[in-house]
Amino acid sequence: MAAATALVLAGCAPTADPIPESTGLPDGVTVQLVQLRSDVAARQAQVQIQNDTGDDLTIGALSVADPRFAEPAGRVLDRESLVRAGGTVDIRIQLPAMDCDVPDEADSTVLITFADAGAEAQVEAPIDDPLDFLAPLHDRECRAAAVADAAAVSLASFTPSPPGEPADLVLEIAPTGDGAVEIVGIQTTNLLTFGMTPGDTADTFPIDVSVAGGDTETATVHLPLVPLRCDPHAVQEDKRGTIFTLEVALDGEPGEIELAASEDMRGSILTWVSDWCGFGAG
């Protein structure tokens, strides 16, 4: 390990600017990049730092660089984090916009500032993505950007319904006039499905709207929505129940993008599910 990092771990006197840099983590320190279900909607991830050294570590500034990122991903909270000897800490980072001019597969590096008793040292090291979330995320978001070049696709409105009847979720497809895309269908979520009754549902609701260059007329699709399940904890612990998967085709190539309800619409949908299923506040 470079002397700069050893200095920080030993808690010696402060170093002069610039902050010393080294390549490679201290022996016993490992890092990995993970994204949990609760991180998805906010486009965040976490740097998991495992400290198997005999000393506590204080982590200051931290960022993850990747060719697929338009800029490095930095900490959500500007603060220091203490990683006890033998302990693990997850540091949340905000994912930046994707650079769609690079391939889906690439390698990431993490830049960590270790701080102790006023001394600081920076360490740059490779970081693994054990859940393999970055490549699919890059693929989906770049496909979504290509779709947006042809049409603005949105969940425009939600109208709740009495128990036993489908609610109305409105999908709008507004062509930009600059490109072509086919909106093939929309998939059920882990909380919601499509159908006239709970027993008459479909995993994918067909849309089959084609947008061509020069089109200007907005298409409106009414989606009959019913709960997929009626257990209270499904609502209470919901993370992705209002994030829909949209099946699309660009230049004849099929793919998927994600379409999320706004926070206000998400609240309305979850309240409706509670009332529809009979475990609401009323």
Task: Give the percent of the chain with pLDDT over 70.
Answer: 88
Rounded CA separation 61/239 (Å):
29
- Smallest CA-to-CA distance from 25 within 67, 53, 44, 60 is with 53
**How does residue 38 score in pLDDT terms, banded at 50, 70 and 90?**
confident
**How does residue 41 score in pLDDT terms, banded at 50, 70 and 90?**
confident
Rounded CA separation 183/171 (Å):
11
Neighbours of 203 (CB within 10 A): 10
In this predicted structure, what is the pLDDT of residue 7? 39
In this predicted structure, what is the pLDDT of residue 279? 87
Q: Where in the chain is the domain with CATH 2.60.40.10?
A: 3-131, 137-277
How many helices (H) and strands (E) would you count in the chain?
5, 18
Please state the pTM of the whole predicted model: 0.76
Rounded CA separation 161/178 (Å):
37
Q: What does each C-alpha distance from 212 to 175, 181, 259, 265 come to in angstroms? A: 8, 7, 21, 30
The topology under which CATH files domain 137-277 is Immunoglobulin-like (2.60.40)
**How does residue 162 score in pLDDT terms, banded at 50, 70 and 90?**
very high
The topology under which CATH files domain 3-131 is Immunoglobulin-like (2.60.40)
CA 185 to chain centre: 22
| Secondary structure (DSSP) of 215-249 | --PPEEEEEEEEES---HHHHHT-SSTTEEEEEEE
Q: pLDDT, tens digit, for every residue of 223-266?
A: 999 999 898 988 888 888 999 999 999 999 999 999 999 999 99
**How does residue 197 score in pLDDT terms, banded at 50, 70 and 90?**
low
CA 260 to chain centre: 11
Q: Give the pLDDT mean for 96-113.
A: 96
Q: Give the pLDDT mean for 104-132.
A: 90
In this predicted structure, what is the pLDDT of residue 72? 98
In this predicted structure, what is the pLDDT of residue 62? 96
Q: Give the pLDDT mean for 259-279.
A: 94
